[in-house]
Amino acid sequence: MKRLYLASGSPRRRELLTQIGVPFCAVSADIDETPVVQESPSAYVERLARGKAEAGRGVVVSDEPFCVLGADTAVVLEGKILGKPVDQADACAMLMMLSGCEHEVLTAIAVLDGERCESRVVTSRVRFRAISRDEAAAYWVSGEPRDKAGGYGIQGLGAVFVAGLSGSYSAVVGLPLCETAELLGHFGIPCWQPRNAL
């Protein structure tokens, strides 16, 4: 079986991949995440997921065949990408925009080996209840919004803002597990599956 490298510094992605029983090593994959002019959010996350996988391949030193998995998550409101907040004002402004309405979370995954690269984009819809400015300011102080797209974490304190979710919970957290398992299967990397347990 090929060894798998996860090209990510995200602790969430490591936890999620561990959750489905895939052995892997994490490598860093720092790339420029600036959107290209007129690039759609879907094309943006897919390009970044592929770019992270390629950057990861560049740092792996191995004589054995291996695969690299990269991923990227963006919060999208009315077609506009909300990245990670740069400061408190930015984070509060994002939460105010998301307050009381529905937004999309797009997560792309890309897997490559020495011959090919396959990718997927998973779209989920998240509905927030109304959020006050005081709540947004207090949430910033918790430290949670800093390293997260859209300035919130559904898996943490930010869950109190989430009135509804349609789509993939794991994709919102950073790695769509159903699609990741399927894509890894195309590269001969098995995850936990019911038939393996029999």
Q: What's CA 3's distance to the chain center, in Å?
A: 21
Is 90 catalytic? The answer is no
Structure-block tokens of residue 172: 């919102």
Q: If binding is defined by CB under 6 A, does position 120 make contact with ligand TTP?
A: no
Q: If binding is defined by CB under 6 A, does position 111 make contact with ligand TTP?
A: no
Instruction: Determine which residue in the list 22, 97, 105, 183 makes contact with ligand TTP, applying CB under 6 A.
Output: 105
Instruction: Determine which residue in the list 51, 145, 153, 176 makes contact with ligand TTP, applying CB under 6 A.
Output: 153
Alpha helices in the chain (DSSP H): 11-19, 41-59, 88-98, 133-141, 169-173, 177-186
Residue with tokens 């898996």: 155
Q: If binding is defined by CB under 6 A, does position 4 make contact with ligand TTP?
A: no
Task: Spot the catalytic one: 30, 32, 63, 72.
Answer: 72
The DSSP letter of residue 191 is: -
Q: If binding is defined by CB under 6 A, does position 10 make contact with ligand TTP?
A: yes
Instruction: Determine which residue in the list 4, 69, 75, 92 makes contact with ligand TTP, applying CB under 6 A.
Output: 75
Which of these segments, 2-10, 58-66, 95-103, 112-120, binds ligand TTP (CB under 6 A)?
2-10
The span from the first CA to the last CA of the chain, in angstroms, equals 20
Distance (Å, whole) CA 46 – CA 128: 25
